[in-house]
């Protein structure tokens, strides 16, 4: 059990972090410069928070009231740095040996041999880090951490420094590792894919403050704030005005239309929708535009000839803040061939997301 609750003054904002983690893979999702890496550094003891409390498995690591601040050496945290931090003058084997703590030196060679096998590093023992690929470097760094027998794993953007085609492989390796590990993993990233693919739970960190922990599915389906929505990958937002709460009726100002959804709550101030949830519709049925959640749009730009086509469309919202809609459509679905012809899209009521802030 990891308990984290601290404040750290940074140059332009205060970092306020508060969460607990059990045997789970907890992701911290936030934009660049939001304090993610600083959070890990504070937990690892590399940086000292200005006040607060950090506890791991009943051991107090930091307590500003009781003036406790364990050194990074005494915290037993497995920290995977973004660029792996392999020691450049040492070979793979020497790097792995450096992971063994002074108190566990008996059997060290057999432990290193074993980790070389499990981390698929056979044949690379005498290579220097700059002779390795990104994936190999990460396996060496993880091997070095595992030999250190840490109490938790902390990973700083483990997939970001890798080429696209390596990501798949490394992702599988990490998933396998997490299954064997069975203890807390803390993973920070600015990339939602990384979080969605590797984590069980997630806490969004924006403007230096972290939101309550939720499952990854919850973040995707019901982000807690506009900025969490942006991080979850939602691209379309509108300020709203509630017309009739009982019928779920509201005016979406930015899009210039009236829509409905039973998910509307009294405190809702904004709505959002994922690009892929819009459907092109040619229906002119008896139902009103409101009942169908129709939005008349004109295409401004389109790009992408792959599986999905991306469209940027104008809405009746005119020049309001987020009046442009970003749509991802399967080309066959819509059959929109003429760029200049206005058309209609609908958004299913259950796919609308509402935000209070």
Partner 1 sequence: MIFPQMDWFPLLNSLRVAIISTVVIFFSGIYAAWHIAKLPHLFKGILDVILTLPLVLPPTVVGFFLLKMLGPYSAIGSFLINTANTRLVMEWYSAIFASVVVAFPLMYRTARGAFESFDPDLQYAGQTLGMPNWKIFWKIVVPTCKQGILAGTVLAFARALGEYGATSMISGYTPGRTATISTTVYQLWRTGDDAQAYLWVLINIAISCVVLFAINSLEAKNSTKHPVRDLERS
Q: To the nearest whole angstrom, how small is the minimum distance from the Cβ of residue 187 to partner 1?
A: 16
CA distances (Å), origin 348, targets 201, 224, 278: 27, 20, 7
Tally of CB atoms within 10 A around 196 = 18
Q: In whole angstroms, what is the distance from residue 333 CA to residue 312 CA?
A: 17
User: Which lies closer to partner 1 via its Cβ, residue 138 or residue 210?
Assistant: 138
| 73 touching partner 1, by CB under 8 A | yes
Tell me the residue ranges of DSSP E strands in 22-137. 25-29, 51-56, 59-63, 68-69, 77-80
Tell which one of 51, 105, 133, 350 touches partner 1 (CB under 8 A): 133
Q: 188 has which bridge partners?
A: 28, 156
Q: Which residues contact 133 (CB under 8 A, 6 or more apart)?
A: 166
Q: To the nearest whole angstrom, how small is the minimum distance from the Cβ of residue 232 to partner 1?
A: 29
Q: To the nearest whole angstrom, how small is the minimum distance from the Cβ of residue 234 to partner 1?
A: 33
DSSP three-state, residue 157: coil
Please give the size of the binding site for partner 1, defined by CB under 8 A: 36
Encoded one letter per residue, x for contact with partner 1 by CB under 8 A and - for no contact, window 95-124 reads ---xx-xx----------------------
Q: In whole angstroms, what is the distance from residue 274 CA to residue 2 CA?
A: 34
Q: Which residues contact 165 (CB under 8 A, 6 or more apart)?
A: none
Encoded one letter per residue, x for contact with partner 1 by CB under 8 A and - for no contact, window 167-206 reads ----------------------------------------
Tally of CB atoms within 10 A around 133 = 12
User: Which lies closer to partner 1 via its Cβ, residue 84 or residue 326?
Assistant: 84
User: Which lies closer to partner 1 via its Cβ, residue 28 or residue 228?
Assistant: 28
Tell which one of 34, 121, 132, 234 touches partner 1 (CB under 8 A): 132
Q: Could you say which residues in the range 33-72 bind partner 1, by CB under 8 A?
A: 41, 44-46, 71-72
User: Which lies closer to partner 1 via its Cβ, residue 87 or residue 301?
Assistant: 87
Q: To the nearest whole angstrom, how small is the minimum distance from the Cβ of residue 154 to partner 1?
A: 9
Tell which one of 145, 257, 273, 352 touches partner 1 (CB under 8 A): 145
| 130 touching partner 1, by CB under 8 A | yes
Tally of CB atoms within 10 A around 321 = 11
DSSP three-state, residue 2: strand
| 76 touching partner 1, by CB under 8 A | yes
Q: 309 has which bridge partners?
A: 329
User: Which lies closer to partner 1 via its Cβ, residue 15 or residue 347?
Assistant: 15
User: Which lies closer to partner 1 via its Cβ, residue 45 or residue 229?
Assistant: 45
DSSP three-state, residue 192: helix
Q: 187 has which bridge partners?
A: 27, 155
Q: In whole angstroms, what is the distance from residue 14 CA to residue 49 CA?
A: 10
**Residues in contact with partner 1 by the rule CB under 8 A:** 41, 44-46, 71-79, 81-83, 85, 87-89, 98-99, 101-102, 130-136, 144-145, 148, 163, 166
């Amino acid at each position: 059990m990891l308990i984290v609750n601290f404040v750290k003054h940074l140059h332009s904002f205060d970092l306020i972090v508060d969460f607990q983690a059990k045997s789970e893979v907890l992701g911290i999702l936030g934009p660049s410069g939001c304090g993610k890496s600083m959070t890990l550094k504070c937990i690892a003891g590399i940086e000292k928070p200005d006040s607060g409390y950090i506890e791991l498995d009943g051991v107090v690591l930091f307590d500003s009231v009781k003036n406790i601040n364990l050194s990074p050496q005494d915290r037993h945290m497995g920290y995977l740095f973004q660029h792996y931090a392999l020691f450049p003058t040492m070979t793979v084997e020497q790097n792995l040996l450096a992971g063994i703590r002074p108190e566990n030196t008996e059997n060290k060679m057999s432990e290193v041999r074993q980790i070389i096998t499990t981390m698929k590093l056979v044949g690379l023992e005498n290579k220097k880090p700059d002779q390795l690929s990104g994936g190999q470097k990460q396996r060496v760094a993880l091997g070095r951490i595992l030999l250190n027998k840490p109490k938790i794993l902390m990973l700083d953007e483990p997939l970001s420094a890798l080429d696209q085609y390596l990501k798949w492989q490394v992702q599988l390796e990490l998933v396998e590792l997490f299954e064997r590990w069975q203890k807390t993993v803390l993973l920070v990233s600015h990339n939602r894919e990384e979080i969605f693919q590797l984590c069980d739970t997630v806490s969004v960190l924006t403007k230096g403050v972290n939101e309550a922990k939720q499952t990854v599915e919850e973040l995707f389906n019901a982000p807690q704030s506009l900025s969490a929505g942006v991080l979850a990958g939602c691209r379309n937002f509108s300020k709203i005005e509630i017309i009739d709460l009982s019928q779920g009726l509201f005016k979406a100002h930015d899009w210039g239309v009236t829509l409905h959804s039973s998910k509307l709550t009294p405190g809702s101030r904004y709505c959002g929708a994922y690009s892929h949830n819009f459907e092109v519709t040619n229906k002119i049925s008896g139902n009103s535009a409101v009942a169908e959640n129709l939005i008349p749009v004109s295409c401004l730009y389109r790009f992408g000839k792959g599986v999905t086509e991306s469209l940027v469309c104008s809405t009746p919202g005119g020049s309001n803040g987020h009046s442009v809609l970003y749509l991802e459509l399967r080309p066959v679905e819509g059959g929109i061939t003429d760029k200049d012809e206005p058309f209609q899209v609908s958004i299913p009521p259950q796919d609308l997301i509402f935000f209070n802030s």
